[in-house]
Amino acid sequence: MKIGIVCYPTFGGSGVVATELGKALAQKGHQIHFITYIQPVRLNFFNENLFFHAVYVPTYPLFQQYPPYELALASKMVDVVLHEKLDILHVHYAIPHASAAYMAKQILATKNIHIPVVTTLHGTDITLVGKDASFEPVVTFSINQSDAVTTVSTSLKNDTYSHFEITNEIHVIPNFIDLERFKKQEKNHFKKAICPNDEKLLVHISNFRKVKRMNDVVSIFDLVRKDIPAKLLLIGDGPERINLEIQCRELGITDDVRMLGKLDAVEEVLSIADLFLMPSESESFGLSALEAMACEVPVISSDAGGIPELNLNGITGFTSKVGDVNQMAKNALYILQDDNLPTFRENALKRAKEFDLNEIVPSYEKIYEYAKNKLKK
């Protein structure tokens, strides 16, 4: 199949899932055309079936404040469908990709080309920005106009039905993991450098946005550190970074907290971690927790959104109410006991294997067939 994939090309989970999906489909022999404004960060790989088409928004004085990206994207989709003879368009994240796809589809229909559109909803496009009155009518319309709609968890499917008037069926296809890449590696020298006195290592990875409750990450760590020697690694970057620096200084724990910025090879850091923290306010799935679990790292998380569909309470880690840092710290200390950690590690890996890319990617191929058949009717 010739598939056009539209996504955000940045480090965010939706772009990562879209890119990993494209790479996996290319390896299965599909021809994949990424359509976005810069090369996706995880598209760092050569395969004869992978193509990248850049969306270019011309500058013009009138566009200075609001460049019309959605129109340039829709035009690019039309261009790529026509010239590469695509069979399907798969857009990740509703805003503005689903409505741009709708526009492209209508333009193509005037040329007697009928292209099915699959929309995958990832989280904040529904739970945060999507339901804002500034976008809600367009999001509802474009979800209903898609030939197939998927969400990354049952929780996100339920949220979509409750926040919008959806007439379309929604299919759940969870996030997936490449177990060849995400596995515990031998990195003892690195562990020794970060934890010279055999401290326990806690890790958090995110885009440092408010929704991640980064202050809770630091509070949990501070409570753990009062009981056992521990270090915290923070990977990623974003608007909350400054607040975190202030919080760490106020708590007097800067020597035990390191911010590594945006890293490509997160699996190397996860290989030396003892515990992953995800206290998010809202989280449709929690891809970075899955990446940690694949590297045998148990998870202390909130019970927000789709996280409990991944992190099994008392088995692969613990889930607690959003903001309950005392409970989270208590559970973290329980997991980190030498008698308990190996079992939690084993369970985390076992659970991660249920999201193996080889098991999940065929569900997307089935959805493409479903969308094609739906369009024909």
Residues near ligand GMT (CB under 6 A): 12-15, 17, 93, 122-124, 152, 175, 207, 209, 211, 282-287
Taking the least distance from each CB to ligand GMT, the nearer of 239 and 342 is: 239
CB of 302 to ligand GMT, least distance (A): 11
CB of 101 to ligand GMT, least distance (A): 17
| Alpha carbon distance 79, 307 (integer Å) | 39
CB of 10 to ligand GMT, least distance (A): 8
| Alpha carbon distance 226, 148 (integer Å) | 50
Q: What is the DSSP letter of 216?
A: H
CB of 13 to ligand GMT, least distance (A): 3
Taking the least distance from each CB to ligand GMT, the nearer of 79 and 309 is: 309
337 CB neighbour count, 10 Å cutoff: 11
**3-class SS of residue 24:** helix
CB of 79 to ligand GMT, least distance (A): 26
| Alpha carbon distance 185, 37 (integer Å) | 34
Burial 93-110 (b: 16+ CB within 10 A, else e): bbbbbbbbbbbbbebbee
- Do 317 and 294 touch, CB atoms closer than 8 A? no
**3-class SS of residue 118:** strand
Taking the least distance from each CB to ligand GMT, the nearer of 75 and 207 is: 207
Taking the least distance from each CB to ligand GMT, the nearer of 12 and 40 is: 12
| Alpha carbon distance 20, 34 (integer Å) | 11
| Alpha carbon distance 280, 270 (integer Å) | 19
**3-class SS of residue 10:** coil
CB of 292 to ligand GMT, least distance (A): 12
Taking the least distance from each CB to ligand GMT, the nearer of 279 and 286 is: 286
CB of 299 to ligand GMT, least distance (A): 13
Helix H or strand E encompassing 92: strand 88-92
Taking the least distance from each CB to ligand GMT, the nearer of 19 and 31 is: 19
Taking the least distance from each CB to ligand GMT, the nearer of 317 and 372 is: 317
Report the DSSP beta bridge partners of residue 33. 4, 51
